[in-house]
Structure 1
Amino acid sequence: MSENRKTQGGLLLERSNTSKQKYIILGILFLAWIVNYLDKLSMNVAIIPIAEEFSLNETQAGLIISVFFMSYAVMQLVGGYLSDKYGARRMILISVLLWSIFTILTGFAWSFVSLIVIRLLFGIGEGSFPAASTLAIADNFPKSERGRAKSTLTAATTIGSMISTIVAAALIISIGWRNLFFIFGVLGFLLTIVLYFLLKPNTQYREEANSIKVKVPLKKLLKMPMLWQLMLMYFGVSIVNWGLTSWMPTFMVKEKNLDMVSMGALAIIPALAALIAVVLTGWLIDKFAVGKEKYLIMFGAFIAGISLFFMTNASSITMIVTFQALTLAGCLFATTTILTLPLKYFSHDVIGTATGFIYFGGQIAGAISPSIMGYIISLFNGSYSAAFLFLMVMVIIPILTATTLRTKTSITTNPTA
């Protein structure tokens, strides 16, 4: 009897430690995503003084922002595969270390060409992180909790977006754009040390899934319609998200005559709206939308498109910020759902690879959206209306694709995993 109690007590203690560890990992990944977005999005504000210093036009400025996403997109595919093969922890550590190095190197840039090269390398260094962090969620959380866990990390991206603009604007004004990148790079090195000690490897759910079902070959994964549908939908939503994120700071400063600090402060409002949308979506996915996730995607994309139209035609700063907030909230409604679906419906041993493919679609959007918008703005003599119209058209992609989504035929594993 006493032996049985000891066994039960040991199991309870083990479960308690496991539960505690998974939330520690979620917390440190949350912090890592915030730092990731500080490093990545600070360029959207820094490009304003950089363009002045190097005498860049809108097309060149857009290319500097876009070129990061070109290498970042390609690395999504490689990084997802490497994460499945070598584990989430190893790839996260390598990625954070590399992006910190290239963040510092950005501060040493001396020309347009040097910025292009550094940003390309930056994308390679950072490209493994999204898929690896998603795999870390799958390694530490059962399927019934993955929607909320993934939405927590997506929430970190909105917080990173929210504070990066105002922090970058304040630092650029006080210490210059070069020192901004030096500080963020050092922050990344400190994060690498924290991750090394706190991000403990855990393959509990991977091992349980593999013991129940044979591994899914890559060839079979690539034949799944859901993989390509998710990639295409994420591409469409990301065109809007990255287009706005890249050009709204310049639009508000140059077109609406705001100073950089005011622009950064107002940017908090859309980010807060996006954060609320992310948290709400994660809860809905786990509790009420199982098997009906496509309706969340369609709803979010529709809200984004309508809000973009009203933002384009708004006459006051208040209305512009209001509809920008609704646009980003709609985008994050769709994005959170899209990025959670691999954790719900794909075999554990291909989650990293599948996520890498989906992120690839989003980063291709990040690579072309800022450049296309910059070209359209130049083509129409500095007018942003046509560029915003381009974003409205792109919203059609996730709406139409979502109508074809069928989750019941996806690659699944043990439902308790």
Structure 2
Amino acid sequence: MDQSGITPNTSNQQLVNGSDNDSATALLQEKQARRRENLGDVTFREYMTVGILCFVNLINYMDRFTIAGVLADVKSEFNIGDDWAGLLQTVFVIAYMVFAPMFGYLGDRYSRRKIMAAGVALWTMTTFAGSYVTNYYWFAVFRGLVGIGEASYSTIAPTIISDLFVGNVRSKMLAFFYFAIPVGSGFGYIVGSVAGAIAGDWRWGLRVTPVLGAAAVILVAFVMQDPERGQAEESTMKPTSYGDDLRALVKNPSFMLSTLAFTCVAFVTGALAWWGPLFIYLGLNLQPGVAISKERVSLVFGGITMASGLAGVPLGAWLGAALLKRFPRAHPFICGAGLLVSAPAMALGMLLTQYYFYAPFVFMFIGEVALNLNWAIVADMSLYIVIPPRRSTAEAFQILISHMLGDAGSPYLIGVISESLKRSLGSGDMESPSMSVQFRALQYALFVTCFVEVIGGAFFLMTTKYIVRDKQKVDRAIAEAEAHGSEASHSQAQEENVPGE
């Protein structure tokens, strides 16, 4: 068995050697292009399925960042510091990443509709129940349960899109799907702050998404389409063992390098999303004559996050589609360039927060737009460099690595660094550090994210060396499996037509 998970048969061996290899790939790509290259070919039910997936992804990220919009109130409620506040997000992400491989395995083998419906129901109920918990430790436990439910959805949803579409249409649908991430995150800040302010209790911010989640469960269970795995590519490939899946993924350089790069993206987005509103609130209130509320900062930060997603995700998808035909290595190059542009923009935004009112927002918007270029592109790359029956496992593996080394620890790490710096900057006075000390400690801690962005950009640029070769391997494997399936069907038909003696 080769690395692709396909056992070549002798009669089709020519498909995986020499020039026949390239011709098989070309024929497969031409066939896919004829089949699904225009949005006009997409059926109403397929549009409905993508719309449902986007809706669930939207409320998924709303729920994830609602607490970040009311973080100052959460700290006051439970009487905790930056480190314990960061731990809330870390608990969520640890549960999310630990259970992702299990859902990846199930998603490649069982009903994705049932798995996703159960997962959305779980995080909807635990979010609502957790909003009534008054003990910090139990509150953290419920955030972990929310992470388990969200893992079931995030691991499987992109693979449904990959099984419905190919080529340019798949890229556009993935852009639409991942467009919901920054927009949902922005809504999370807004919903958390506005609902909490209206009700006079931050906990009401957590009770909005469960209502939407209940509707999402019904839509997933009864309306969403669950296609056959590899349907869009007419793939006849069958799942291999879980061990073979993992070995093939580890030996796939494009997948591993892009996963490491995306880990840096997760580290940065996790830290900035969690600490960004509080950092800006502290910095702006240090300026003479400025008195801005936590709720207004969360509202503005949420608006910037949404606007950057509205600009960045479609821009990344458009650049990828425009450049890919002339420059086959365009996808990882765009992602890498985006991170290398984002790093200095974010650094400038952090440096100017204490001195200017509008400049920090402008530079952070630029930084987030550049960061958002990669969302749809990374997902597209991860799908076309992995064979169809292995894609849920690949998504789960990428989630595990990127969150384990990324945003599982970044909010807590930034909080720990900030608390440590408060001691030195505040001359040991930890009972009531001044606003200036709190801001400076958090600022120095957040500068770590800029260095991580540069590392991520380097990993993406390294991916450009392997991306074309690894995509061709997948195309060849699908072409070989299709040819093998055709020969098997032809042989069976001949045997059935042989007259009996």
Give the Cα separation in 2 of the matches to 1:255 and 1:144. Answer: 44
Give the Cα separation in 2 of the matches to 1:356 and 1:389. Answer: 29
1:383-405 Cα shifts (integer Å, max 9, x gaps):
22211221111112212212321
Give the Cα separation in 1 of the matches to 2:134 and 2:295. Answer: 26
Provide the TM-score with structure 2 as the length reference.
0.76
Q: Is the 8 A contact 1:274 1:325 kept in 2?
A: no
Q: Report the CA distance between 1:33 and its aligned residue.
A: 0.8
| Corresponding residue number in structure 2 for 1:373 | 414
Change in 2 beyond 3 A, CA 1:304/1:361: farther
| Corresponding residue number in structure 1 for 2:6 | none
| Corresponding residue number in structure 1 for 2:338 | 300
Equivalent position to 1:144, from 168, 188, 200: 168
**Is the aligned partner of 1:248 residue 2:282?**
no
Equivalent position to 1:178, from 187, 203, 217: 203
| Higher alpha-carbon Rg | 2
1:59-99 Cα shifts (integer Å, max 9, x gaps):
11111122100111112222222111114322221211111
Give the Cα separation in 1 of the matches to 2:103 and 2:319. Answer: 29
Q: Is the 8 A contact 2:164 2:232 kept in 1?
A: no
Q: Report the CA distance between 1:18 and its aligned residue.
A: 5.8
State the secondary structure of the residue aligned to 1:127: helix
**Is the aligned partner of 1:260 residue 2:294?**
yes
Give the Cα separation in 2 of the matches to 1:396 and 1:254. Answer: 26
Change in 2 beyond 3 A, CA 1:388/1:29: same
| Corresponding residue number in structure 1 for 2:461 | 403
More displaced, 16-25 or 156-165?
Answer: 16-25
For residues 2-401 of structure 1, the aligned pairs below 5 Å read 19-175=43-199, 176-203=201-228, 205-206=230-231, 208-211=233-236, 213=237, 217-218=244-245, 219-257=247-285, 258-267=292-301, 268-289=303-324, 290-314=328-352, 315-364=355-404, 365-381=406-422, 382=438, 383-401=441-459
**Is the aligned partner of 1:412 residue 2:452?**
no
1:100-127 Cα shifts (integer Å, max 9, x gaps):
0111122122211111211111111211
Change in 2 beyond 3 A, CA 1:262/1:408: same
Structure 2: 5+ residue runs without aligned partners? 1-34, 286-291, 423-437, 483-501
Q: Report the CA distance between 1:48 and its aligned residue.
A: 1.9
Q: Is the 8 A contact 2:249 2:256 kept in 1?
A: no
Change in 2 beyond 3 A, CA 1:73/1:214: closer
Give the Cα separation in 2 of the matches to 1:270 and 1:184. Answer: 18
Q: Is the 8 A contact 2:175 2:375 kept in 1?
A: no
| Corresponding residue number in structure 2 for 1:6 | none
Query: Which amino acid is 2:376 matched to?
Result: T
Q: Is the 8 A contact 2:131 2:204 kept in 1?
A: yes
Change in 2 beyond 3 A, CA 1:113/1:124: same
Q: Report the CA distance between 1:380 and its aligned residue.
A: 1.6
Give the Cα separation in 1 of the matches to 2:264 and 2:398. Answer: 12
How many correspondences in the alignment? 402
Query: Which amino acid is 2:315 matched to?
Result: L
| Corresponding residue number in structure 1 for 2:29 | none
Give the Cα separation in 1 of the matches to 2:305 and 2:195. Answer: 21
State the secondary structure of the residue aligned to 1:206: coil
1:267-318 Cα shifts (integer Å, max 9, x gaps):
2124312321101111222342243212101111111111122112112121
Give the Cα separation in 2 of the matches to 1:284 and 1:214. Answer: 34
Pairwise CA RMSD: 2.2
Give the Cα separation in 2 of the matches to 1:244 and 1:354. Answer: 26
Give the Cα separation in 2 of the matches to 1:94 and 1:108. Answer: 22
Query: Which amino acid is 2:469 matched to?
Result: T
Give the Cα separation in 2 of the matches to 1:333 and 1:86. Answer: 33
Structure 1: 5+ residue runs without aligned partners? 1-10
Give the Cα separation in 1 of the matches to 2:174 and 2:249. Answer: 21
State the secondary structure of the residue aligned to 2:378: helix
Query: Which amino acid is 1:181 matched to?
Result: L
Q: Is the 8 A contact 1:34 1:159 kept in 2?
A: yes
